[in-house]
Amino acid sequence: MKKQIISILLAMCVVSSSSAFALSSNQTQNGIEPRATTTFLIDNDTIDSSCSNSRYGFNEYLSDTGHYNNDARRQLTKGGGSYWYRWESNGGFWKNGTIYAKVGVYVNNKYFLDSAAEYYVERTYSTIMAPVGTLNQNYAKAGWNYFNEISLNSLSADGANKSSFVEVWPSGNNQTGYTGADAIQVTYR
């Protein structure tokens, strides 16, 4: 029974949502109620129906107890610059005005060696995603690694703003090893 509960928790896409609802507006957009602060935790190859993954490349699926939820994916870093892996929450997070996003990524594998894996978050009303930062997966902590919080200005005239996914892109650097994609967390406020 305990094991079952744990696996249900691991599958949870929305980890926490602040009950202190700070937005003054009572509006909804696409029927989704805005929340003051929301954390999404999304694994690769998620089994949770409230979130999803998509990818270009990252064909290699890995099973190992060192990974979050015992699995991960990888893409050769060298020549991999146009491939990507995406973690997406259904509906995402939206509010009027600037959204702040803090991203954490789980990496734990000796072949994840990308010296500058690139992470992005969705930025609605722009075709260009917002860069979160780069991570040297070779020297990253085994486990969770957190980026500084970034801000996403609304580019819409009415201030509407939304973000629903995180992506990793291999650096494409001329080096050995792989770019890994395991679990991510993103906290929006």
Q: Which residues bind Ca ion (CB under 5 A)?
A: 43-45, 67-69, 71-72, 182
Q: How far is the CB of 47 from Ca ion (least distance, A)?
A: 7
Q: How far is the CB of 97 from Ca ion (least distance, A)?
A: 33
Please say which residue, 51 or 132, places its beta carbon nearer to Ca ion.
51
Q: How far is the CB of 10 from Ca ion (least distance, A)?
A: 9
At 145, which helix (H) or strand (E)? strand 143-146
DSSP 92-132: EEEEES-EEEEEEEEE--TTB--TTEEEEE--TTSSSPEEE
Please say which residue, 15 or 130, places its beta carbon nearer to Ca ion.
15
Residue 111 neighbours by CB under 8 Å, 6+ apart: 74, 177, 178, 180
Q: How far is the CB of 173 from Ca ion (least distance, A)?
A: 24
- Euclidean distance between CA atoms 5 and 105, whole angstroms: 23
Please say which residue, 43 or 122, places its beta carbon nearer to Ca ion.
43
